[in-house]
Structure 1
Amino acid sequence: MWTTAKAPSLADFEEMAHDVYGKLPPEFRALCEGVIIRVDDFPTDEVMDEMQVQTEFDLLGLFQGIGLPQQSSQDIAPMPNMIWLYRRPILDYWADHDDTLGEIVRHVLIHEIGHHFGLSDADMEAIEAQADG
């Protein structure tokens, strides 16, 4: 059976990310109203330069947008907040660790949302513990 196994496609990966997101605690998802989740194989060159990463495998995910603490009613129609998950770096990380792919996706998703909203690592660990695996 393993000889026919394939890595999930971008579409499969995005479906998994949305499924993982749907299992996060409702109070956490409420903080994310309007956030768009996208999957790409790798970050763009611009993102790599901005984040100062050395290789395209160094970044598993990214939040782009204006976080809740920085939002203002006087903002001029900002771009939508987006979470990017990078499929190939996540698959590479998965190959080297004992976690399931779903656990890794959940971890990256929670941290991309959480750091942006000013949550501490302890807050995010509590959210992960509540998330339905």
Structure 2
Amino acid sequence: MRHGTPPTTEDILDMAETALDAIPVSLREKVRGTAILVEEVPDDETLAELGLENVWDLTGLYRGVPLTQKSSADTAMEPDTILLYREPILLEWIETGEDLFALVRNVLIHEIGHHFGLSDADIERLERDD
């Protein structure tokens, strides 16, 4: 059996950018200026901050101030960032058999939900309502 090479960080980023281009313009405008980065795995500091012990438990992360907490008087500190973690995404892809693009899109949309100030529970409710 031949094995291909696993998708690279650039491949995951391309999928995320394609997924972002497909969301409604009104939502995409509100995400403008948010960086999308792909890293191999979350670092130890991030895991500790979130109370996670297993590097494979985190496929994505939103870092920034949710829109619901921003004020026009605020001074921007660091740009809002959506991090996608390549290896945990690939592991979930292998374990679930889900389409990789759909998985990347779901992780991206989940983190965009946090940008809008939604909690994990709110996002899960919205996902169930689809």
TM-score greater than 0.5 by the shorter chain: yes
**Cα-Cα RMSD:** 1.8
CA deviation profile, 1:13-63 (whole Å, cap 9, x unmatched): 211211111112222212212111000000111111111111111100000
* Structure 1 residue runs without a partner (length 5+): none
Amino acid at match of 2:51: Q
Tell me what 2:58 maps to: 59
Give runs of ≥4 in structure 1 deviating > 6 Å: none
Structure 2 residue matching 1:118: 3-state secondary structure: coil
In structure 1, how many angstroms separate the alpha carbons of the residues matched to 2:128 and 2:81?
22
Shift of 1:117: 1.1
Structure number having the greater helix percentage: 2
**1:84 is aligned to 2:62:** no
- Map 1:67-78; keep pairs closer than 5 Å: 67-78=66-77
Whether the aligned pair in 2 keeps the contact of 1:65 and 1:82 (CA below 8 Å) is: yes
Gaps of 5+ in 2: none
SS in 2 for 1:53: coil
Distance 2:31 2:63 in 1: 13
5 Å matches for 1:1-133? 3-119=2-118, 120-121=122-123, 122-123=125-126
Identity of aligned residues (%): 38
Equivalent-residue separation in structure 2 for 1:125 and 1:82 (angstroms): 26
Amino acid at match of 1:74: A
TM-score in terms of structure 2 length: 0.87
The alignment's TM-score, normalised by the length of structure 1, stands at 0.85
